[in-house]
Each structure stands twice: as structure tokens, then as C-alpha cells.
Structure 1
């Protein structure tokens, strides 16, 4: 899954650079295509998750891997209009490596150990973001955009084939025996689960907004050359937080982690100079990044019945991508009409607004769970 996520961390920056440099279009046009792919992923994730629940892993991965490979190999040969038109369906066919990894962990790892497992998974995501975008930029700089995008398609196809070949379990034998019929949507998509998904969207809004505000601040003060170092420190802080979260027996609740994540980023803009001070004040909020995402995944895996776990994880993927898609334009608007320092405040406040409905849902008393869930509820976690 680490290998499968690597090309996903490259595709956004490669698509932007190709549209701007290869097609001679502006960043707005590049953002339109990128938003189409992101929207397609958000819409496709729960549908693919439901297909995983119904048909299993191999047929869905085969179809998605073939479609994604074809898109990226053909992309450098398409005019802009055609590229924009196929962006959404191409995104819908992307192999949902994130939700698939979480399903596999929920199957292979006992409930009481899932905090550590999901923390490790989140640390793996941070590692891919430290490697993927930089490798993609280096490749498109050294080689032609056509070659680089085609190579990305081959990489997508290769990792999809590896997933198909290994065929990791997404539901164990006990799960298959407990739930032979699919439970109704209203029986498991409770206010508590929706609240958890809203928290996930709010967290990603904060994270993408923080990255955008950081980049804008460094650029405004002529420190763009240290961007890689600052982002590396942010990722290292998140990894450290994930290690601590996964190691302790009891961690902070998901709602508290989300509140701290958002509140700690609001005043960051007060220390925008020099760049090393900005880096230091970004560490506390990034320490909570991996724990917040890991706690969210753990909650979803606990609340969703095994028979619909794929769809539930797909919904989480969709909500996080919607948070990503909303964060960039909202925080960018705040920066354009004020200053980069206000971008940090917009990221924190916007994330709190999105997550507030989720936090209310998380505080509601739990309803009696549907039939398959008591077996999970009785297991200590």
C-alpha cells in the first residue's frame, strides 16, 4: 500500500505542471483539471467501497488499475478540453489505496491493536508525501512531460497488479459468517458515524490550508528555497505524533485531537518571520495530524458493521477529499484578500466550522447498534 500511494502523491503536481508547461494553460485551468480528478475520487470512493463489499478485491482492482493506467498514458496526448472532460471519470476509477489499506488492517489486526496499526498506516502516508511529490517534480524536470505522465500510468498499473497478485483479505471468515445480508443504510450510517466523517473532512481542510498558507508566507518573504525543509519538518512532527499516539495505551479522544489541531494553527501567522520561527510554531499543530487521522479511522472501523466496511471506508475517503478540495480555494481566497498570515487563521477556523457538526454528533449518546456490531462492541478497545 505504501507503493500504491506513491503515484497518488505525484499526480496532482505532475498534472499541474503538465497543463501549465506542456499545454501552455494557466494555473486556473490546471486547478480545474485537478479538481475534476479530486471530485471523481471523492464520488468514486464510496461506490468502489460498496463494490469491494459485494464482489471482492480482485475484480475491482483489475478494472480500476486498467482504467487508471489508460488515463495517465493517454493524458499527454489529449487536448485540454478532452483532458478536463475525462478528469472526473478518471478520478472515479482510481484504485482507492487508502480505504483499501484501512479495510485490510481492520481484517488482520485485533480491535485492541488497531490504534497502533492505523497510526503506523498514517505514518506511512506521511512518508509517501515526503518522497512522492519531490520525485515527481524531479522526473518531469529531467524528462519530458509525455514520458513522465506515461511512466506514472505504468506505475499505477504496476502497483494495482501487485495488489491484485497479493490479494490481501478485506473481510475475515468470522465477518463473512456474521453478516450474510447487507444491513440497511440507516441502520449503520448513524449520526455518530456521520460526525466522525465530518471531523475527517475538517482535519483535511486544516492540513491543506496550513500547507498553502505556509507556502504563501515563505514566498512572500523570499524564503521559497527552504520550502522543502519546512515541509519535511512538518511531516516529521506528524510522524512523531503518530508514533506516540500508536504507542500509548490510552490517547486523547478524536474530538479533542481535532480541536487542538485546528486551534493551534490559528495563531501561527503571528510568527511568520523569520522562516525558522515559522517552522517551530508549526510543529505543535502537526504533532496532532497523524493522531487525528488515525483516531478517525479507528472510530469508523469500530462503528461500521463488517459487511459494509468497504463502503464506510470509502465514505471516509470521500469526505477527506472533499475537505481537501474545499481547503485550497477557501484559504487561498483569504490569502488573496488579506495576507498569508491570515491563511493560517482561515485554515483553523474553517476546519472547526466543518468539524463542528461532527463534534456535536460525536457527543450524542450511542443508539443500540444493529445485529452485527455487538461482537465488535464487546471487544475491549
Structure 2
């Protein structure tokens, strides 16, 4: 392993402040899923499938809204988008705790479509601040930052919820997201490099969704299907074992494994194959459902957890290379859509299986779906290695087999 890539990234102007701002801004965003789940299960007295449906509608809204918000950034700049989404997020979390379940469903969809896209904004800014040869390390740092946020956000949400109420927790999430939006508005990170801004806007709009980019997006959706299933499954296992108070500790362990994997991935001289990592994530997730207490759960999650951050980092790097700067915001929006699409499908499907068949079959299903989707992506990549005419050149096999160090 080499540490030079991290030094090159963190010493570039604007990168370290962006990483620190992103870390703080993402904490409330990572608490959204578990807060909604426990609100529906605890306060509204519904099952995990019903809780997953609320999360699914919210993330479907995010999936539909994210590319449009990214396009808004490409055309109008970052601040108009931040103003719109910050206000919308504040309104949603102010009213959501008081809504009955039937009304919460459509409101969650609208709130999701206009949610603050912290993750996409940060990745777009990193792509603008860091040259291509150092982006793998940059996105590894980003993925580790995400995991640090996940270690704090869900655990903090559980602590606040168990010591106060779900309503206060939801209001706290809303206040924190509003402050995050205002902080990003004030910081106003760049979305294009100086060279890209000097080149101006192209006369014609480039195509965003090339076949190769679509393949990457589908594969990452399969991976986040696994992550969402794991998220819901952790709560179910601990609730069944009457160890819900250990939820925060288990999430911290999951995040720690991922941070270690992200650090190793970014420091390697050659990248791990993106789609192969996704296959391994699915296979390693399948036995997690055998856990019966928080200790075994933390142990069985280690192999899959180690691969989580590399999946996100490598897919972010691939997306940033497959499109020109003029449409990078929309492309990162589609990347965010892929992430949330997998989540929107994984939460209700795995929740449905949890309600009827228990954790063993739920984790087996989640892992199998992720592995099969990634295997299909490998086959498609090998059959269609041609690059789209309007995208920057890249090694097509790198995504599947790790060639050339360029996913």
C-alpha cells in the first residue's frame, strides 16, 4: 500500500475543507433511514414491510429528483439548488412526525424528490478539485467520510429516540439537515475545475446515459439493495434478541469495517475490480442472517463490511470518468439515483421477507440479488467493451477485471 495518493489529494486546495464540511453535513442524512423505520414500527405500530415502504417511496423520490437537481447545478450553479432543497427538507421533517401512515407515504415521496443531495454534491466537487489520476484516492477518502457519518448518524438517532421520542428525533434530523444545507450554501464548493470553467459550456449537450454508464448504475443499485437489506435486517435481528440498545454499536462496527476497506482500496497501486467487489459483497452478506445476538452479528458482518466503501469509491470514480464536465452534475445525480433505487427496492423486499420468513432468508435473498446483478454486469461489460463516442476514454475491462488502474 502507498500513502502518497492520500497526501496528493488532501494537500490540494479546497479538498480538506470540503471533506470536513461533508462529514458534518452527512451525519443527519445518514440518520434518515433508521429514524423513519423506528417511527413507523414504534409510533405508527406497523411492520418492517410497512416501514420499508415509507423508505422506498422516499428513496424513489430521491432517485427521480437527483438527476434533475444535478442538471440544475450544471445549468444554474450550486446555490439555487441548495436553496430549494434546504427549504423543502425543513418543511418535510417539520410535518412528517404528525402525519398518519397513509398521508406519510405520498409526502415521503415528495420530500425525497426534493431532499438535500449532500452525497452527490460532494462527489461532484471532488471530481472538480482532483485530477483524474488521483480521483480513486479522493473517492476512497469520500467513502470513508461517509462511513464515519454512518457510524455517528444512526447511533445518535437511536440514542435520541430511546431517550426522548421519535417525534423529537425527526425534528432534530430536520434542523440538522437545514443547517447542513445552509453550511454548504455558505461554503459553495466548486462544481468544475478552473480549466473546465475556462473552457466554457459546450455548444451541444452531451449524452449522459451511455451503455457503459448504465451498466455501472445498475450494478451499484444491486449493491445498495444489499446494503438496504442489511440495514433493515440489523434492526430486526437485534429487536428479536431484545438487544435494540446495541444497534448503535453494531452500526459502528459495520462502519469501521468499511473504513478499513476504503483505506486499503485507495492506497493500493492497482484498483480492485469493481464488479467483482460487488459479487463478493453479496456472497459475504448471505450468512449474516445466522446471527442471533449482537456479538455474532458484528462478527459475521466483517467480510461484507470491509468491501462496502470500495464499492462506493470505485463506482463514483467510474462515473466521474465516463462523462464530460458539462454534465457531471447530472451524471452524479444518476449515480445517486442508482444508490437510492437499490435502497428503495431492498428495504421493502427484505422487510417483507423478514416479516414472514425471518433473518436467515432475508439476508440470503439480499446477498443473492447483489451477487447476481454484479455477475450480469461483468458479462455485459465483456460483451460490450466499446466506449460511447461522447465520453472520455477509459479502459472498459477495468470496471470488470481491474485492468490498467482505471475503472
Q: How high is the TM-score relative to the length of structure 2?
A: 0.83
Question: Partners of 1:316 and 1:116 in 2: how far apart?
Answer: 18
The CA deviation string for residues 141-198 of structure 1, in whole angstroms up to 9 with x for no partner, is: 444554443333222221111111111001123223165234343xx42221111111
CA shift, 1:77, in A, is 4.5
Question: Would the alpha carbon gap of residues 333 and 15 (structure 1) be closer, same or farther in structure 2, given more than 3 Å must change?
Answer: closer
Q: How does 1:163-174 map to 2 (within 5 A)?
A: 163-174=184-195
Give the conservation status (yes or no) of the 8 Å contact 2:215–2:381: yes
CA shift, 1:246, in A, is 0.9
Specify the alignment match of 1:210 in structure 2: 230
Secondary structure of 2:202's aligned partner: coil
2:230 is aligned with 1:197: no
Aligned pair partner of 2:286 in 266, 273, 289: 266
Aligned-CA RMSD value: 2.8
Specify the alignment match of 2:274 in structure 1: 254
Give the conservation status (yes or no) of the 8 Å contact 2:279–2:370: no
Give the conservation status (yes or no) of the 8 Å contact 2:210–2:388: no
Which one is further off, 343-352 or 366-375?
366-375
CA shift, 1:71, in A, is 1.9
Give the conservation status (yes or no) of the 8 Å contact 1:196–1:362: no
CA shift, 1:261, in A, is 1.4
Question: Would the alpha carbon gap of residues 134 and 224 (structure 1) be closer, same or farther in structure 2, given more than 3 Å must change?
Answer: closer
Aligned pair partner of 2:252 in 211, 228, 232: 232
Question: Partners of 1:355 and 1:376 in 2: how far apart?
Answer: 18
Question: Partners of 1:284 and 1:56 in 2: how far apart?
Answer: 40
Q: How does 1:61-72 map to 2 (within 5 A)?
A: 61-72=82-93
Give the conservation status (yes or no) of the 8 Å contact 2:69–2:333: yes
User: Structure 2: any 5+ residue segments left out of the alignment?
Assistant: 1-21, 397-403
Q: How high is the TM-score relative to the length of structure 1?
A: 0.88
Secondary structure of 1:288's aligned partner: helix
User: Structure 1: any 5+ residue segments left out of the alignment?
Assistant: none
Q: How does 1:60-99 map to 2 (within 5 A)?
A: 60-99=81-120
Give the conservation status (yes or no) of the 8 Å contact 2:323–2:390: no
Paired residues in the alignment total: 376
Aligned pair partner of 1:5 in 23, 26, 39: 26
Question: Partners of 1:375 and 1:222 in 2: how far apart?
Answer: 50
Q: How does 1:1-381 map to 2 (within 5 A)?
A: 1-19=22-40, 22=43, 24-27=44-47, 29-143=50-164, 145-176=166-197, 177=199, 179-185=201-207, 188-221=208-241, 224-269=244-289, 272=291, 276-370=295-389, 373=392, 381=406
Give the conservation status (yes or no) of the 8 Å contact 1:58–1:167: yes
Question: Partners of 1:222 and 1:18 in 2: how far apart?
Answer: 18
Question: Would the alpha carbon gap of residues 368 and 34 (structure 1) be closer, same or farther in structure 2, given more than 3 Å must change?
Answer: closer
